[in-house]
Amino acid sequence: MTQPTPKPGILDIELYVGGRSAVPGVEKVYKLSSNESPLGPSPAAVAALTAAAQNLQLYPDGSSLLLREAIAKTYGLDAARIVAGGEGSGPLLTLIANAYLQPGDEVILSRHAFLIYEIATRANSARPVIVEEKTTNSGIRIDVDAMLTAVTAQTKLVYIANPNNPTGSYLTRDEMRKLHAGLPPHVLLVIDAAYGEFVDAADYDIGLELAQQHGNVVMTRTFSKIHGLAALRLGWAYVPHAVSDVLNRIRGPFSTSPLQQQAGAAAIADTAHVAKAAAHNAKWRTWLTDEIRAVGLRVDGSAANFVLIHFAPGPKDAKAADAFLLARGIILRGVGAYGLPDCLRLTVGTEEANRLAAAALRDFMQS
């Protein structure tokens, strides 16, 4: 018996498994597995969402003009070069692959990159070229020279998460410029800056400089992280005019809802809430790093809203630590699917959650 056959590459995709949100038998849990905002959304965004819910019978503005203009005003951008998308920035990253990849094309990504890059590549029958990262004193970092060495005549896209998830490391402004300068003009550099607002390093650029200046650079952002709107699933991209024309031809006619547009517009304008969330993250990211290192565990330096914790193979490995923490209702994220089976990723949470997680890790190491 015959059956429908998917495109080459589809069946090579490993299913994406999200982080857990509950622990059987444990009533109160602290979910530190999905890089969600401990402060939640801006009150202005909640108010806008409530108001928008009064008109659910109406179709949305298909161009997302209100949202695009709010983003453009906040960052000083050209609204015509902004593409908004529902379901976070992930579908925008996929939309780019759908628009530009053909069978036989190659896409360069780092070893511990966000899984959606490889999924989008294989879904378009293109070939992912996985480049090894390098381990430094500060942690695991993307190797720009190795990325450039991997470029061939078949290269069509380069995906870079900056900062990277799950390692938490970032490329400097100069490193990103070097990477772009080494790419042929027809290769599209896609900068995923989902965690960019959390970076406080002076040598970092979120991607706007390159995206504004060059015709082969795209920067994507999300409302799911620092804006605390993960449940709304909303993202946006800043792209060259030619890329905007392409993406707008193939995206859905109503890719964002009125709820997303109005809540997103209010959230992006509330810069005070963003600053508050960034300050909370900087304080507790440092505190968690110091506390966990003090109990004898390796914690890489992070520029994002999470830290990567390394465990040695043996009786106190990552799986044992995960089970110990789960028994206390503390949920971290295993990252074996990212090629890091000896690690757990811990999201910066509320003060209560952070203190409980650090105490549980101390008790685990002393048990």
Length of the chain: 367
Residues of the chain predicted below pLDDT 50: none
Three-state SS for 51? helix
Q: What is the model's pLDDT at position 22?
A: 78
Helix/strand/coil (H, E, C) string of 272-310? HHHHHHHHHHHHHHHHHHHHHHHCCCEECCCCCCEEEEE
The DSSP output letter for 317 is S
Strand partners, 134: 141
The DSSP output letter for 187 is S
Neighbour tally for 274: CB within 10 Å: 19
Cβ atoms 111, 131 nearer than 8 A: yes
Neighbour tally for 100: CB within 10 Å: 21
248 Cβ partners below 8 Å, 6+ apart? Answer: 83
What is the C-alpha separation between 87 and 235, in angstroms, rounded?
7
Question: Residues 90, 304, 225, 217: what is their CA dihedral angle, to the nearest 10 degrees?
Answer: -40
Domains and CATH numbers, the chain: 10-31+272-366 (3.90.1150.10), 43-269 (3.40.640.10)
The DSSP output letter for 192 is E
pTM: 0.94
What is the C-alpha separation between 166 and 163, in angstroms, rounded?
9
What is the C-alpha separation between 181 and 348, in angstroms, rounded?
35
Q: What is the model's pLDDT at position 13?
A: 82
Helix-, strand-, coil-residue percentages of the chain, each rounded to 5: 40, 20, 40
Q: How many whole angstroms from its chain centre is CA 113?
A: 10
Cβ atoms 299, 309 nearer than 8 A: yes
The DSSP output letter for 103 is T
53 Cβ partners below 8 Å, 6+ apart? Answer: 259
First vs last C-alpha separation in the chain:
57
Number of H helices, E strands in the chain: 12, 15
What is the C-alpha separation between 36 and 224, in angstroms, rounded?
7
Q: What region, left, alpha or beta, does residue 168 occupy, with left being phi > 0 and alpha being psi -120 to 50 degrees? A: left
The DSSP output letter for 41 is S
Q: What is the model's pLDDT at position 9?
A: 87
Neighbour tally for 245: CB within 10 Å: 11
